[in-house]
Chains A and B, each alone.
Chain A
Amino acid sequence: MSEAAPSKDFLAEEVRRYHHFITLALWLAAITGAEIVLIFLPIPPMAVLTVLSLMSAGKFFAVILWFMHLIYDKKLLFWLFLTGLLLAFATFASLIALFGVERIDTKWFA
């Protein structure tokens, strides 16, 4: 190794993060399992879709915050990524609104 070894504080921080990673991995596995069970429960589809979307969003942000270190890094990185994410979501919402199936004459697609 060409550079100095990491400091004790830095190592202690890494050990703390290591335990966070294990906890998070267990949660991610549990939420994925819950998602699969949820789709077979006799609950209205739109309610299930809402819960599934929330669970996915939860997993998504958990990974970017902890596994991708955004919670530990400079806030600028978070805002940069959020900008891309919001643009993607805005594209998605705009397309859904523009091409709502109710407003399309489906005979053209037959």
Chain B
Amino acid sequence: MSQAADAHVAPTSTGIDHKKLIMWLFLASDCMFFGTLISTHLLYRKLYPTGFTDAQGHQHFIQNLFNLELTSFSTFILLMSSFLMALAVSAMHKAEIKSFRRNVLGVIFFGLIFLGCQVYEFTHFYHQGLTIQNSVLGSTFYVLTGTHGTHVAIGVLWLVLLYFYSFTGKLGGHMGALDVEVAGLYWHFVDIVWIIIFTLVYLVEYLGPSGIWGSGLPALTQ
């Protein structure tokens, strides 16, 4: 840590603020949580390479269901929200509350766009016949991406509360900056989890003419 930053650290036995330490511990445990969900999805994806069957008995290849443009757009949005969050934390460290509010509003806006994209995607998949009950693929996919979406929603709610709290005048000084930094850590974590999900759940479906899982179904029609 830089000397400048050290000057702002509260005297704890580790030299690290307790709030920050606990947040990092929580994020480490959340890594294991998402690690299990991603592993489960990939395992069942490998065991059931033929995609899913809808209520009419038609077999679908998930590659034809995914909308890469939409997912890429939401990935870009989430990455940029992470950038704005870093600027918001930086603004709080510089005690620039107005800059913090501008940036955090941007993060909230981008977070809501991401959630909107996910709601649209889930609705589209549901109408195409992929439900949480009709296939293992549906179960693991919705649970994984839904859990991530819930994390994003909690993050948005947390940031909205911080935004309004900033108008009370109590969100200032070292403790205020620390509160924002802890919220920022959570938001960045949501972003890095999506980086992994985007690659391992979405992009791998496009590798090769019938996806990396080798379903034997007709090639991509998009």
Interface positions of A (Cβ within 8 A of B): 1-3, 5-7, 9-14, 17-18, 21-22, 24-25, 28-29, 32, 35-36, 39-40, 45, 48-49, 52-53, 55-56, 59-60, 63-64, 66-69, 72-74, 76-77, 80-81, 83-85, 87-89, 91-92, 95-96, 99, 101, 104, 106, 109
- Chain A CB within 8 A of B87 CB: yes
B158 CB to nearest chain A CB (Å)? 16
Taking the closest CB of chain B, its distance from the CB of A18, in whole angstroms, is 6
- Which residue of A is nearest B185, CB measured? A68
Q: Is the CB of A35 within 8 A of B83?
A: no
Known: A60-B196, A74-B15. A3 touches B173 (CB 8 A): yes
Q: B70: CB under 8 A from chain A?
A: no
Residue in contact with B188 in the complex, picked from A32, A64, A74, CB distance below 8 Å? A64
Task: Render B16-54 as a binary contact track against A, CB cut-off 8 A, 1 for contact.
Answer: 100011001101111110111011101100111000000
Closest to A63 in B: B192
In the complex, the answer to whether B79 meets A106 with C-beta atoms within 8 Å is no
Chain-A contact segment, one of B90-98, B114-122, B148-156: B90-98
Which secondary structure characterizes the binding site on chain B?
helix
User: Given contacts A80-B24, A87-B31, are A21 and B90 in contact (CB under 8 A)?
Assistant: yes
Interchain CA distance A40-B209 in the complex, whole Å:
10
B146 interface residue per 8 A CB criterion: no
Asked if B212 is at the interface of the complex by the 8 Å CB criterion, the answer is yes
Q: Is the CB of B7 within 8 A of A83?
A: no
Task: Pull 14 A–B residue pairs with CB atoms less than 8 Å apart, ordered by A.
Answer: A32-B75, A39-B206, A67-B184, A68-B189, A72-B1, A73-B16, A73-B20, A77-B20, A84-B32, A88-B36, A92-B38, A96-B39, A99-B47, A109-B48
Question: Among B20, B189, B199, which residue has the most Cβ atoms of chain A within 10 A?
Answer: B199
Give which listed residue, A32, A73, A81, A101, contacts B28 with CB less than 8 A.
Answer: A81
B206's partner among A29, A40, A81 (CB-CB below 8 A) is A40
Q: Is B140 an interface residue (CB 8 A)?
A: no
Can you name the residue of chain A whose Cβ is closest to the Cβ of B170?
A: A2
| Smallest beta-carbon distance B203→chain A, Å | 6
Q: Are A21 and B95 within 8 A (Cβ)?
A: no
Residues of B within 8 A of A101 (CB): 46-47
- Of residues 74 through 111 on chain B, the ones whose CB sits less than 8 Å from some CB of chain A are 75-76, 79-80, 82-83, 85-87, 89-90, 93-95
